[in-house]
Chain A
Amino acid sequence: MMRRIPWLGMITFAVILFVISPLLVVIPVSLTSNNVLSFPPQGFSFKWYEKIADRPEFIDSFIFSIELAVITAVCATLIGTIAALALHKYDFRGRRLINALLLSPLTIPSLIIGIAALLFFTRISLAGTFWGLLATHLLISVPFVVRLTLTGLSSYDYTLERAAYILGAKPGHVFRDITLPLLKPALISGFIFSFLTSFDNVTVSLFMVSPSMTTLPLAIFSYMQETLDPLVASISTVVILLSLVFILILEFVFGLDRLFGSNSQSH
């Protein structure tokens, strides 16, 4: 039974190829000198990279996406962590209900979250504003943080806190020297998850952006619906290469399967 059957390995290889190929083909296409999208690419030039500079909306939206993702990650980690701490540390009536409510956005498709937010935010004049966009990004990120922090807290030992208090430590000290270090892995995972959730999101942002404020995935999405040319390939290549660096850092520092494994059931 322990002997490896080669066809399992072959199918695995094929599936890996299947999920990686759409990213691999983008890179050669971005180096074409042709004006239309074709494969294999003809000629070699960097002209499609130069053309990115002619379209400031992509650079602006890239910067905006990063800003939004960082703000989302910081706020979501904070909001989610303190909520998880409250849920784990204190026993009160309605605790399980609040826990379920905080995780409930995960059970609703993001398309419907976007539609609901657009209609309601239009009513309270929040639609098309930065705050509206940030609120929806926080809404879809906070449940991840709550889950990750609760998982991290499940092995948390309160006797350490008690011991510190007995030894005369002040609450601020206890938080800094005991609670925070023990929660660090969960905080980092939560931060990365929120960042990626916000940075890659299209379906919710679709309903929240305005002409003057758009995210990179959405700028590409809108462009692709009108024109299909190698410009999308050069922008995508830049994003892929930057993501690759980011992913490799994540893998070396934390291990992606650990990061993802605890969340595979939560979409």
Chain B
Amino acid sequence: MAGAVQSNKGSLRTALLLLTPGLVLLIVAFLLPMLYIFLQSVQDEHQQFTMKQYLLFVQDPYYAQVLWRTIKLSLYTVAASLLLAYPVAMFMARTTGKLRGIVTFLIISPHLISVVIRNFGWVVILGDKGWINTTLLNLGLIDEPLRLLYNELGVVIGLVDSFVVYMVLSIATSLYAIDTSLYKAAGILGASRLRAFLTITLPLSLPGMIAGITLVFSLSMSAFVTPALMGGTSVKVMPVIAYEKIMATLNWPLGAALSFLLLASTYALVALFTRLIETKRYKEVFSS
């Protein structure tokens, strides 16, 4: 007995020793900094407690506007990603072997290259002298360049490009798990293709869609590089103004408060969304 306790203590010591580097890193580079900026966000210049940074959000409509724009652009990104990703995921689920591997590779691999370079490519495509505008001008379809960049459209295009891959992979994973004999059964029972899609594919891919929506929404809410490079000075979103407060105006308490507001609103909206979906699903289960 004594031996067992001894070895337990010994193994606990080994475990703690192995965990130490990771935990030290976590505390120094993450937990303490998060605590520190939270304290900063509720302090004034003289280290006194204040809520004025957060109250500014209610008093000054500018910040509410920026938050609303951030949410709106994230929702557009989610909607566009969902529409583009679902057919791709279905295609991937219906093919097997080599072709599925190639499609997966082609969807994933461009994302291994920095978002900065991808955004530069979009500037080349969408700019006033870019590929689309030059082509349309040469064809005589338009008289002056279309504004495709440095506005909300440009930001959404950039964000969809960055995050659509997460939606594809999330939906595809749930589609792969569908038992194909369900389709055979539906066919035997005389269900049309549309009906089979609506009663089998769509409901069974719901978990993947929820995961994809949550992921793409959270990523879009906190995206900084794409709005900064493709939104220009006119499309300010929360991450961009938080960056400006920290780096340009050096108003750290306000920058910290904006960070927490962004975090809180993202979590709240994701929680609300999952809640709504879950309640709806329970109702469906219990009513049928």
Chain A residues engaging chain B, CB cutoff 8 angstroms? 1-2, 4, 7-9, 11-12, 15-16, 18-26, 29, 36-40, 78-80, 82-83, 85-87, 89-90, 92, 98, 101-102, 104-105, 108-113, 115-121, 123, 135-136, 138-139, 142, 146, 196, 199-200, 202-203, 206-207, 216-217, 220-221, 224-225, 228, 232-233, 236, 239-240, 243, 246-247, 251, 255-257, 260-261, 264-265, 267
Contact = CB atoms under 8 A, between A and B. Distances in A.
Contacts, number: 282
A30 B15 CA distance: 53
B122 A22 contact: yes
Most B CB within 10 A of own CB, among A80, A92, A111, A121: A111
Contacts of A265: 170, 211, 215
A175 to B, nearest CB: 12
A136 B106 CA distance: 30
Contact of B225 (A24, A142, A199, A203): A203
A89 B15 contact: yes
B259 A82 contact: no
Contacts of A225: 228-229
B256 A26 contact: no
A15 B107 contact: yes
B246 A118 contact: yes
A39 B130 contact: yes
Interface residues of B, number: 97
Contacts of B127: 37, 39, 228
Interface string B99-112: 00101111111111
A25 B124 contact: yes
Nearest to B225: A202
The 10 residue pairs across chains A and B that have the minimum distance between CB atoms? A22-B121, A109-B222, A116-B33, A120-B33, A86-B18, A90-B15, A264-B169, A83-B22, A11-B87, A257-B104
Contact of B91 (A9, A79, A113, A233): A9
Given A90-B14, A105-B26, A239-B117, A260 B169 contact: yes
A18 B83 CA distance: 14
A86 B14 contact: yes
Most A CB within 10 A of own CB, among B21, B111, B180: B21
Given A15-B84, A22-B119, A29-B124, 19 more contacts: A2-B94, A7-B87, A8-B87, A16-B107, A22-B122, A22-B124, A37-B124, A39-B127, A87-B15, A116-B30, A118-B246, A138-B25, A199-B114, A200-B113, A203-B224, A236-B117, A243-B112, A260-B108, A264-B169
A221 B152 CA distance: 20
Contacts of B109: 247, 251, 256
Interface in B43-98: 84-85, 87-88, 90-92, 94-95
A79 B17 CA distance: 11
